[in-house]
């Protein structure tokens, strides 16, 4: 079964967003003290691999080799099986689902445990005292 145009567009947008998020996460993860971003980068990588490596089950080669009934009884692999998303009518592979969960978990870890940025020596100056006479 061939993917529809909407599935191709959604897949392309998902890969583009995952690549952008992964690039940001790698950049932020290479800074000192921000290693939790690498969990997000790993999740983004798995999302890209899951969307790009997705296959339909059973594949045409399995149907031609085993027959339609026997091929349908085979156990799908991580690239073949999928979880349905009801609103969009899409199927998400387990690799993509693990990537999404890992990216969300990494983002949560970063938000909860990342150290605040160190002060770079620029302190806020105190305001000068007000004068007694405001008359001009």
The pLDDT tens digits along the chain (136 residues) read 577 788 788 888 989 999 999 999 999 888 876 788 999 999 999 989 888 887 666 666 677 777 777 777 776 666 666 777 777 666 788 888 889 899 999 999 988 887 766 655 566 677 767 666 665 5
Residue 28 · residue 34 · CB < 8 Å:
yes
First to last CA, the chain: 83
Separation of CA 16 from chain center: 10
Question: How many CB atoms sit inside 10 A of residue 5's CB?
Answer: 7
* pLDDT value, residue 25: 93
According to DSSP, residue 57 is labeled S
Q: What are the residues whose beta carbons fall under 8 Å from the beta carbon of 47, sequence distance 6 or more?
A: 14, 15, 18, 96, 99, 100, 103
* pLDDT value, residue 21: 94
Integer Cα distance of 77 and 55 in angstroms: 10
Polymer length of the chain: 136
Assigned token pair, 25: 């996460």
According to DSSP, residue 67 is labeled -
* pLDDT value, residue 136: 58
């Amino acid at each position: 079964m061939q993917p529809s145009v909407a599935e191709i567009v959604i897949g392309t947008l998902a890969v583009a967003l995952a690549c952008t998020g992964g690039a940001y996460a790698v950049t932020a993860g290479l800074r000192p003290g921000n290693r939790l971003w690498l969990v997000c980068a790993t999740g983004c990588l798995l999302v890209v691999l899951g969307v790009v490596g997705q296959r339909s089950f059973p594949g045409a080669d399995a149907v031609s080799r085993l027959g339609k009934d026997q091929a349908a009884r085979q156990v799908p692999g991580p690239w073949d099986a999928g979880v349905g998303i009801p609103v969009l009518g899409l199927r998400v592979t387990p690799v993509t689902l693990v990537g999404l969960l890992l990216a969300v978990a990494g983002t949560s870890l970063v938000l909860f445990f990342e150290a605040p940025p160190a002060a770079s020596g620029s302190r806020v100056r105190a305001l000068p005292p007000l004068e007694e006479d405001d008359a001009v």
